[in-house]
């Protein structure tokens, strides 16, 4: 099942009755922003060269641009974020960067209290974001930690509601499993 | 009965008038200090004044502070906003320690902080008639 916002695309895959994966794709690197950044750095370097008449400035500018692009693609630019929910096991979050690197976090199901859509103030506006509420080991009713999901792809509320509904169906299965035990 | 009414008391008018007179006097004193040449003030016998430099410097300091205070207030607001991963976006001490009142038939339910899971179920799953 696929849903397209204006920038992000949500993909839901069901592997079995108790296992689902949700992937949100981010906007790819745009050519105009890349060329704008490169041109501004090179124009600044050329202006410095005109001031100082030192040609090392130009070569350092090229070096900085290349290194900066590699660092950006490897550490900053997230291509796709996915959430894998397995009812009896846990929740796994994966972020894959533009250079191919993947970052994975796993939270086991006994620590998960609920998956909710929370509203919070971010800069000067209120945003909706999906988050996992972690249980406090000392007090089962209180929330010890909040783990926000899809921080870089930032899907809109319609995507979040779809993911929320699917997650709740799976989380209900773990309640019935624990009650039958 | 007059003491229990919320309308302003007569003392408030007195304090207001005293403050008005003091403010006018202070302003006149400031104008005299800023404009009257030092020789005239010395000839009257009043010699212990601050430097006239401060007659211009203090208002400038005040205006710069007011301008910076807008920016500072904006920054303080942004700094004290809870980050997205903090539990303060979901609950706080008052909500954790709230007492549950018993549900009475035919009465309006008591005001309480509803947990976020319940709120989400109501909004997004369309569950429950509560």
**Domain range list for chain B:** 12-82
pTM score: 0.77
Give residue A161's pLDDT. Answer: 93
A124 and A174 fall within a common domain: yes
Residues of A in contact with B121 (CB under 8 A): 168
Gap from B61 CA to chain A (nearest CA, Å): 30
Of B81, B117, B125, the CB nearest to A114: B117
Same-domain status, A165 and A126: yes
Per the domain annotation, does A20 fall within a domain?
yes
Q: Is the pLDDT of residue A81 over 90?
A: yes
Tell whether B86 lies on the interface with A, counting CB pairs under 8 A: yes
Alpha carbon separation from B104 to A13, A73, A174, B130 (Å, rounded): 46, 60, 34, 14
B84·A151 Cβ contact <8 A: yes
How high is the pLDDT of residue B71?
Answer: 96
Q: Which two tokens stand for residue B89?
A: 């976006």
pLDDT recorded at residue A3 = 55
pLDDT tens track for A33-78: 999 999 999 999 999 999 999 888 899 999 999 999 999 999 999 9
Inspect the interface and report whether the beta carbons of B89 and A118 lie closer than 8 Å. Answer: yes
With CA atoms as reference, the chain A residue closest to B85 would be A146
Query: How many CA atoms within 13 Å lie on the side-chain side of A125?
Result: 3
Nearest to B86 by CA among A156, A129, A39, A62: A129
Is residue A67 within 8 A of residue A75, CB to CB? The reply is no
The reported pLDDT for the residue numbered A165 is 93
> Of the candidates A76, A96, A112, which is a domain's last residue?
A76
Contacts of B97 in chain A (CB under 8 A): none
pLDDT the model gives residue B44: 83
- For chain A, the domain total comes to 2
A36 shares its domain with A93: no
Q: Residue A53 belongs to what domain range? A: 31-76
Cα A127 to Cα A124, B84, B116: the distances in Å are 10, 10, 16
pLDDT of residue B8: 81
User: If you average pLDDT over residues B24-35, what whole number do you get?
Assistant: 92
d(CA A170, CA A162): 13
Q: Is A143 within a domain? A: yes
Task: State whether A63 and A111 are in the same domain.
Answer: no
A137 & A147 share domain: yes
Number of CB atoms found within 10 A of residue A131's CB: 24
In this structure, are A97 and A46 located in the same domain? no
């Amino acid at each position: 099942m696929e849903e397209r916002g204006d920038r992000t695309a949500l993909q839901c895959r069901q592997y079995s009755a108790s296992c689902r994966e949700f992937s949100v794709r981010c906007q790819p690197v745009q050519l105009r922003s890349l060329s704008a950044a490169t041109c501004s750095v090179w124009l600044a370097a050329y202006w410095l060269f005109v001031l100082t008449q030192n040609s090392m400035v130009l070569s350092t500018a090229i070096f900085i641009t290349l290194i900066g692009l590699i660092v950006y693609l490897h550490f900053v630019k997230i291509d796709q974020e996915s959430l894998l929910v397995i009812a009896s096991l846990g929740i796994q979050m994966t972020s894959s960067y533009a250079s191919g690197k993947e970052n994975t976090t796993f939270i086991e199901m006994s620590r998960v209290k609920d998956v909710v859509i929370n509203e919070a103030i971010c800069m000067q506006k209120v945003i909706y974001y999906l988050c996992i509420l972690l249980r406090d080991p000392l007090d089962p009713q209180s929330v010890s930690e909040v783990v926000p999901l899809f921080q870089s792809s930032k899907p809109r509320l319609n995507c979040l509601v779809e993911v929320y509904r699917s997650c709740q169906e799976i989380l209900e299965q773990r309640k019935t499993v624990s009650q039958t035990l | 009965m007059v003491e229990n009414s919320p309308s302003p008391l007569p003392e408030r008018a007195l304090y207001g008038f005293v403050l008005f007179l003091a403010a006018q006097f202070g302003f006149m004193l400031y104008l005299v200090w800023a404009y009257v040449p030092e020789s005239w003030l010395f000839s009257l016998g009043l010699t212990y004044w601050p430097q006239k430099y401060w007659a211009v410097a203090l208002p400038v300091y005040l205006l710069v502070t007011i301008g910076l205070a807008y920016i500072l207030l904006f920054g303080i607001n942004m700094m004290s906003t809870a980050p997205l991963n903090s539990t303060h976006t979901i609950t706080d001490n008052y909500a954790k320690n709230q007492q549950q009142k018993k549900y009475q038939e035919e009465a309006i339910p008591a005001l309480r902080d509803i947990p976020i899971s319940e709120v989400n179920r109501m909004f997004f799953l369309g569950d429950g008639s509560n």
